[in-house]
A = this chain, B = another copy of it.
Amino acid sequence: MINSRLKEACGIFGIFGHEDAARITYLGLYALQHRGQESAGIVVSDGKRLKGYLKMGLVPEIFNEENLKELTGNRAIGHVRYSTTGSSEVKNAQPFKVDYFRGSLAVAHNGNLVNTNELRQRLEKAGSIFQSTMDSEIIVHLLAKSKSATLEDALVESLPKLKGAYSLLLLTQDQMIGIRDPHGFRPLCLGKLNGAYILSSETCALDLIQAEYVREVEPGEIIIIGKKGMHSLKPFAPARPSLCIFEFIYFARPDSHVFGESVYLVRKRLGRELALEKPVEFDLVIPMPDSGTCAALGFAEASGIPFEMGITRNHYVGRTFIQPSQASRDLGVKVKSNPVKDVIKNKRIVVIEDSIVRGTTSKIRMRNLREAGAKEVHMRVSCPPHRYPCYYGIDFPTREELIASSHSVEEISKFIGLDTLGYLSLDGMIKAMSFPKENFCLSCFDGKYPVK
């Protein structure tokens, strides 16, 4: 799946106790860029006050020597965002920074709350004003309303009111706090670099700065980092873990660990299961670049049939694309990827995808493969059909737009124009994981929502 279709939630990164905190955070966001390309921001603390820089755009476009130089202080948190809630404005960029009675506070949020309307109405009734549509603003209002003297106590009091998915980073003048919701929908890991503590959505950010991976922040855990070191709270009632399985299938970078596991290896195992479960007679395995590559390698390995990069991806595609007036509708798709005719011609090919959302792009791609000379075109998808929307931070389309919510596999295959189509089964998908089924949120597949 080309990554413009599914919008990733967000990525968060923070560091405490490093004299180059803003630049390290900039690097961390660079590594997490795939989790959000709409806006990015960094807030630093020098122990006295918070300073921030936030803007629409990509990390390398936003930050430069000049604005990073202004961000002085040895602790920082950062955020890359693709809007899940909150429209696309700089007002909705994060980290969200305010002053309140305990001092200054900045919040970076990855996930999605499901009881925002209710919380917001209650807060407005109590006199709160809202300048954005971000969940983070709600969280900060709750913390401001809590009479507890310390932020720590306020968190223990307020967080249970939040329903939904949240991996959070908080920065005050003298503390950095990392939080995962009790279900642990979104990942968050802890690292260290020369004595400085780091919190990050994925381990690829640790790799880039050559930091050491320490462990996952646990579901329901609050990690508080201050000058005297780190301590951890678990104020929540125990809850069923609900790790987002789609982090493995599509979101995370293959060189990352999420939830403590290698994304690359999980994807290869998904491909292997898929080959065993949905076999077919064919000549070549071809990944849908770039996200289908690992599964395709596993598929090829298990089936003993050659793997080829039969679709080339153009990496120079910009954010805008001008459609010639009389051109076919397919151009927007073609400019991103092109079949390699000489590889495909007269071959029976299996294309490995990580998911089918609306099916319209796949349809164009498959037609292109046939026009390039493929004799048979089969597709295998490394997870079950997506039938239900996600309420925990992934910007799936509405249920109506999900082709699998209203069409059988047979119908989808026909719509896309395939010879055969096979999805990995739920059990097959779980087999590729190291955790038991009960640990995952599978709601986009089975409609069983862990919260609400």
A residues 330-364 near B (Cβ < 8 Å) are 331, 334-335, 338-343
A118 at the interface (CB under 8 A from B): no
B-binding segment of A214-222, A300-308, A387-395, A414-422: A300-308
A315 at the interface (CB under 8 A from B): yes
A325 vs B209: C-alpha distance in the bound complex, in angstroms? 13
Please determine whether B63 and A309 come into contact, CB atoms closer than 8 angstroms. no
A144 touching B127 in the complex, CB below 8 Å, given contacts A20-B325, A318-B61: yes
Of all chain B residues, the one with the shortest Cβ separation from A372 is B207
A434 vs B256: C-alpha distance in the bound complex, in angstroms? 42
A324 at the interface (CB under 8 A from B): yes
A residues 19-72 near B (Cβ < 8 Å) are 19-20, 23-24, 26-27, 30-31, 33-34, 37, 58-61, 63-65, 68
A31 touching B208 in the complex, CB below 8 Å, given contacts A307-B307, A317-B60, A342-B262: no
Q: For residue A432, which residues in chain B have a CB less than 8 angstroms away from its CB?
A: none
Stoichiometry (number of copies): 4
Interface size of A by Cβ–Cβ distance < 8 Å?
81
A-B contact pairs, 25 of them (CB 8 A): A20-B324, A23-B322, A24-B324, A27-B324, A33-B314, A34-B316, A37-B316, A60-B316, A60-B317, A68-B322, A99-B131, A100-B127, A128-B144, A207-B338, A210-B328, A253-B338, A255-B338, A262-B342, A264-B340, A265-B343, A290-B315, A293-B309, A294-B309, A297-B308, A297-B309
Interface residues of A (CB under 8 A from B): 19-20, 23-24, 26-27, 30-31, 33-34, 37, 58-61, 63-65, 68, 90, 97-101, 124-131, 140-141, 144-145, 204, 207-210, 253-255, 262, 264-265, 290, 293-294, 297, 301, 306-309, 312, 314-322, 324-328, 331, 334-335, 338-343
